[in-house]
């Protein structure tokens, strides 16, 4: 593996706390490879068997669900150095539920299941990181689908902010584009709704910081299923 690829892998969540020298030694003894995909090309097809973990070394990809009507919904945008669908690797059928497409020129590290099991057995920190990554992704997707219970974007925004507020404030840790994706909408729609909520006196928005002004109306949105 090239040094640049090793460094990219070493800063991923799977390798948090794993010494890079130890990681290099481990990778020299297991089966892995690097694949390259030009922008716009298909990386993985929904329904295909997923028995090799892909981790993005460089670039970004989109994971989309395709409906019979032909409409596609972006479930997640994944960027380096994150893994793609780690939980599916351990599912009984290992059938990938999404189609993955390269948003940019990409380089992916491919780790077969046996390699993942070997790394987990030989390095406890890698095992803990993998389980944490799977747990965090499942928690995020559970919240994302729960937000879909709310009929309006305004209510979904309120539900997302609820529980994250500290002293009636919350600073977004991600871009509005990523938040829009999480709320199953577009960035322009999210920006318009945040502006409308501010004009209605419910919140105040300054950069990435959102402050709730009218607690009564804000909490009322949480009941609008």
Per-residue pLDDT of the chain (225 residues), as tens digits, is 788 999 999 999 999 999 999 999 999 989 999 999 999 999 999 999 999 999 999 999 999 987 776 677 788 899 999 999 999 999 999 999 999 999 999 999 999 999 999 999 999 999 999 999 999 999 988 888 888 888 899 999 999 999 899 999 999 988 888 899 888 888 999 999 999 999 999 999 998 999 999 999 999 998 875
Give the residue range(s) of CATH 2.60.120.10 domains in the chain. 3-141
pLDDT at position 225: 58
Closest CA to 183 of 25, 73, 44: 73
Which CA distances in Å does 14 have to 87, 91, 107, 131?
13, 19, 17, 9
Closest CA to 30 of 129, 125, 117: 117
**56: which 2 tokens?**
């993005």
Q: What is the CATH number of domain 3-141?
A: 2.60.120.10
pTM, 2 dp? 0.80
Under DSSP, is residue 113 helix (H, G, I), strand (E, B) or coil?
helix
**47: which 2 tokens?**
């329904």
Q: What is the CATH number of domain 153-221?
A: 1.10.10.10
Closest CA to 65 of 86, 44, 83, 88: 44
**85 close to 96: Cβ distance less than 8 angstroms:** yes
The CA distance from 3 to 168, in Å, is: 46
Give the residue range(s) of CATH 1.10.10.10 domains in the chain. 153-221
Backbone angles phi, psi at 191, to 5 degrees: -60, -40
**164: which 2 tokens?**
């994250």
């Amino acid at each position: 593996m090239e040094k640049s690829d090793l460094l990219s892998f070493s800063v991923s969540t799977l390798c948090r706390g794993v010494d890079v020298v130890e990681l290099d030694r481990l990778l020299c003894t297991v089966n892995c490879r690097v694949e390259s995909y030009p922008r716009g090309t298909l990386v993985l097809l929904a329904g295909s068997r997923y028995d090799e973990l892909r981790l993005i070394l460089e670039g970004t990809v989109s994971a989309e669900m395709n409906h019979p009507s032909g409409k596609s919904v972006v479930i997640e945008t994944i960027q380096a150095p994150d893994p793609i669908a780690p939980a599916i690797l351990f599912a009984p059928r290992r059938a990938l539920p999404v189609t993955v497409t390269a948003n940019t020129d990409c380089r992916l590290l491919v780790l077969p299941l046996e390699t993942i099991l070997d790394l987990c057995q030989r390095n406890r920190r890698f095992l803990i990181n993998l389980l944490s990554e799977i747990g965090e992704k499942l928690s995020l997707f559970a919240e994302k689908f729960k937000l879909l219970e709310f009929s309006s974007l305004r209510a979904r925004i309120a539900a997302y902010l609820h529980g994250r507020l500290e002293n009636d404030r919350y600073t977004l840790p991600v871009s509005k584009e990523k938040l829009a994706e999480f709320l199953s909408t577009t960035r322009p729609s999210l920006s318009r709704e945040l502006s409308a909520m501010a004009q209605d006196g419910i919140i105040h928005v300054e950069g990435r910081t959102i402050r709730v002004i009218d607690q009564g109306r804000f909490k009322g949105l949480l009941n609008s299923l």
